Protein backbone atom coordinates (compact mmCIF):
# COMPACT_ATOMS: atom_id res chain seq x y z
CA UNK A 1 0.00 0.00 0.00
CA UNK A 2 1.18 3.51 -0.80
CA UNK A 3 0.47 5.93 2.06
CA UNK A 4 0.90 9.68 2.28
CA UNK A 5 1.69 10.97 5.77
CA UNK A 6 1.02 14.66 6.34
CA UNK A 7 2.77 16.49 9.17
CA UNK A 8 6.18 16.62 10.73
CA UNK A 9 5.64 16.27 14.48
CA UNK A 10 6.19 13.48 16.96
CA UNK A 11 2.73 12.01 16.40
CA UNK A 12 3.36 11.81 12.66
CA UNK A 13 6.81 10.29 13.27
CA UNK A 14 5.23 7.47 15.29
CA UNK A 15 2.58 6.94 12.59
CA UNK A 16 5.17 6.84 9.81
CA UNK A 17 7.33 4.34 11.71
CA UNK A 18 4.30 2.08 12.31
CA UNK A 19 3.22 2.29 8.68
CA UNK A 20 6.74 1.49 7.46
CA UNK A 21 6.97 -1.50 9.85
CA UNK A 22 3.68 -2.79 8.44
CA UNK A 23 5.18 -2.82 4.95
CA UNK A 24 3.55 0.31 3.54
CA UNK A 25 5.44 2.52 1.13
CA UNK A 26 5.28 5.82 3.01
CA UNK A 27 5.60 9.19 1.33
CA UNK A 28 5.64 12.15 3.68
CA UNK A 29 4.81 15.82 3.40
CA UNK A 30 5.94 18.21 6.11
CA UNK A 31 6.73 21.90 6.32
CA UNK A 32 9.97 21.32 8.27
CA UNK A 33 12.25 18.34 7.95
CA UNK A 34 11.80 15.75 10.69
CA UNK A 35 14.86 13.45 10.48
CA UNK A 36 12.96 10.45 11.85
CA UNK A 37 10.19 10.80 9.29
CA UNK A 38 12.77 11.37 6.56
CA UNK A 39 14.56 8.12 7.49
CA UNK A 40 11.39 6.03 7.79
CA UNK A 41 9.77 7.29 4.58
CA UNK A 42 10.42 6.01 1.12
CA UNK A 43 10.44 9.67 0.08
CA UNK A 44 9.46 13.01 1.57
CA UNK A 45 8.83 16.52 0.37
CA UNK A 46 8.98 19.82 2.25
CA UNK A 47 5.60 21.36 1.54
CA UNK A 48 3.51 23.52 3.83
CA UNK A 49 0.78 21.15 5.05
CA UNK A 50 -1.95 23.74 4.41
CA UNK A 51 -0.95 24.15 0.75
CA UNK A 52 -3.78 21.87 -0.30
CA UNK A 53 -3.07 22.00 -4.04
CA UNK A 54 0.61 21.08 -3.60
CA UNK A 55 -0.09 18.29 -1.12
CA UNK A 56 -2.75 16.82 -3.44
CA UNK A 57 -0.38 17.12 -6.41
CA UNK A 58 2.32 15.27 -4.45
CA UNK A 59 -0.11 12.55 -3.31
CA UNK A 60 -1.25 11.95 -6.88
CA UNK A 61 2.31 11.94 -8.20
CA UNK A 62 3.15 9.17 -5.69
CA UNK A 63 -0.08 7.29 -6.48
CA UNK A 64 -1.06 7.28 -2.80
CA UNK A 65 -3.94 4.98 -1.89
CA UNK A 66 -4.38 6.47 1.56
CA UNK A 67 -3.44 9.67 3.37
CA UNK A 68 -2.98 10.04 7.13
CA UNK A 69 -3.28 13.65 8.22
CA UNK A 70 -1.85 14.46 11.65
CA UNK A 71 -2.05 18.21 12.26
CA UNK A 72 -5.30 20.18 12.55
CA UNK A 73 -4.34 22.98 10.16
CA UNK A 74 -4.55 20.91 6.95
CA UNK A 75 -7.89 19.52 8.16
CA UNK A 76 -9.17 23.06 8.63
CA UNK A 77 -7.86 23.94 5.15
CA UNK A 78 -9.94 21.14 3.60
CA UNK A 79 -7.14 18.74 2.65
CA UNK A 80 -9.26 15.63 3.28
CA UNK A 81 -12.04 16.97 1.06
CA UNK A 82 -9.61 17.63 -1.80
CA UNK A 83 -7.78 14.29 -1.50
CA UNK A 84 -11.01 12.30 -1.35
CA UNK A 85 -12.33 14.20 -4.36
CA UNK A 86 -9.28 12.87 -6.25
CA UNK A 87 -9.84 9.29 -5.03
CA UNK A 88 -7.32 9.18 -2.17
CA UNK A 89 -8.81 7.68 0.99
CA UNK A 90 -8.07 9.59 4.19
CA UNK A 91 -7.60 9.06 7.88
CA UNK A 92 -8.89 12.37 9.19
CA UNK A 93 -12.15 14.31 9.12
CA UNK A 94 -13.47 16.53 6.36
CA UNK A 95 -13.30 20.29 6.79
CA UNK A 96 -16.90 20.40 8.02
CA UNK A 97 -16.40 17.58 10.52
CA UNK A 98 -13.10 19.07 11.73
CA UNK A 99 -14.89 22.27 12.82
CA UNK A 100 -15.65 20.66 16.15
CA UNK A 101 -11.92 20.76 16.85
CA UNK A 102 -10.83 23.76 14.79
CA UNK A 103 -13.46 26.21 16.05
CA UNK A 104 -13.98 26.39 19.80
CA UNK A 105 -17.02 28.65 19.45
CA UNK A 106 -18.61 26.19 17.00
CA UNK A 107 -17.91 23.28 19.35
CA UNK A 108 -19.30 25.09 22.41
CA UNK A 109 -22.42 26.19 20.50
CA UNK A 110 -22.97 22.62 19.26
CA UNK A 111 -22.65 21.26 22.79
CA UNK A 112 -25.08 23.90 24.07
CA UNK A 113 -27.59 23.22 21.27
CA UNK A 114 -27.70 19.55 22.24
CA UNK A 115 -27.55 20.15 26.02
CA UNK A 116 -24.40 18.08 26.42
CA UNK A 117 -23.55 17.83 30.12
CA UNK A 118 -20.28 19.42 31.20
CA UNK A 119 -20.30 22.19 28.60
CA UNK A 120 -18.90 25.34 30.17
CA UNK A 121 -20.56 28.72 29.93
CA UNK A 122 -19.00 30.65 27.08
CA UNK A 123 -19.32 33.79 25.03
CA UNK A 124 -17.93 34.69 21.62
CA UNK A 125 -17.47 38.17 20.27
CA UNK A 126 -17.20 39.72 16.86
CA UNK A 127 -15.60 42.91 18.09
CA UNK A 128 -13.45 44.35 20.82
CA UNK A 129 -16.37 46.50 21.98
CA UNK A 130 -18.63 43.48 22.51
CA UNK A 131 -15.92 41.72 24.53
CA UNK A 132 -15.28 44.83 26.60
CA UNK A 133 -18.99 45.21 27.47
CA UNK A 134 -19.16 41.56 28.46
CA UNK A 135 -16.07 41.73 30.68
CA UNK A 136 -17.39 44.84 32.42
CA UNK A 137 -20.60 43.03 33.27
CA UNK A 138 -19.23 39.87 34.87
CA UNK A 139 -17.64 39.04 38.16
CA UNK A 140 -16.18 35.59 37.65
CA UNK A 141 -13.03 34.05 36.25
CA UNK A 142 -12.62 33.72 32.51
CA UNK A 143 -10.28 31.97 30.14
CA UNK A 144 -9.55 33.77 26.88
CA UNK A 145 -9.14 31.66 23.77
CA UNK A 146 -8.17 33.15 20.44
CA UNK A 147 -9.97 32.47 17.18
CA UNK A 148 -8.10 29.94 15.08
CA UNK A 149 -5.74 27.08 15.71
CA UNK A 150 -3.06 27.39 18.37
CA UNK A 151 -1.28 24.07 18.05
CA UNK A 152 -2.77 22.61 21.22
CA UNK A 153 -2.10 25.76 23.22
CA UNK A 154 -5.74 26.93 23.25
CA UNK A 155 -5.74 29.15 26.30
CA UNK A 156 -3.21 31.87 25.59
CA UNK A 157 -4.10 33.78 28.74
CA UNK A 158 -4.14 32.25 32.18
CA UNK A 159 -7.35 32.22 34.16
CA UNK A 160 -8.04 35.65 35.46
CA UNK A 161 -10.82 37.47 37.14
CA UNK A 162 -12.39 40.67 35.86
CA UNK A 163 -10.52 42.50 38.61
CA UNK A 164 -7.18 41.60 37.03
CA UNK A 165 -8.05 43.22 33.69
CA UNK A 166 -7.63 46.81 32.72
CA UNK A 167 -10.74 47.31 30.64
CA UNK A 168 -10.78 50.77 29.11
Indicate which CATH number applies to the domain containing 45: 3.40.50.20
How much is the pTM? 0.79
pLDDT of residue 5: 98
- What is the Cα–Cα distance from 9 to 17, expressed in whole angstroms? 12
Asked if residue 125 and residue 87 are part of one domain, the reply reads: no
Asked if residue 92 and residue 75 are part of one domain, the reply reads: yes
Domain encompassing residue 121: 103-164
Span 27-37, average pLDDT: 97
Asked if residue 82 and residue 118 are part of one domain, the reply reads: no
pLDDT tens-digit readout, 58-112: 999 999 999 999 999 999 999 999 999 999 999 999 999 999 888 888 888 899 9
Asked if residue 136 and residue 87 are part of one domain, the reply reads: no
Asked if residue 25 and residue 63 are part of one domain, the reply reads: yes
Asked if residue 135 and residue 86 are part of one domain, the reply reads: no
- What is the Cα–Cα distance from 162 to 141, expressed in whole angstroms? 7
pLDDT of residue 2: 98
The H or E element spanning position 76 is: helix 72-76
Report how many domains make up the chain.
2
pLDDT of residue 123: 84
Asked if residue 111 and residue 88 are part of one domain, the reply reads: no
> Is beta strand 66-69 parallel, antiparallel or unpaired with respect to 25-30?
unpaired
DSSP 122-134: ----SSHHHHHHH
Phi, psi of 37 (to 5 degrees): -65, -40
Amino acid sequence: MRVLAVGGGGREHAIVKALARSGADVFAVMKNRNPGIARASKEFSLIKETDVNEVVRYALSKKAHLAVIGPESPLEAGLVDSLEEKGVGCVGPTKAAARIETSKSFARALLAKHSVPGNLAFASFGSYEEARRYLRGIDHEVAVKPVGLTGGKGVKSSLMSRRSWTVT
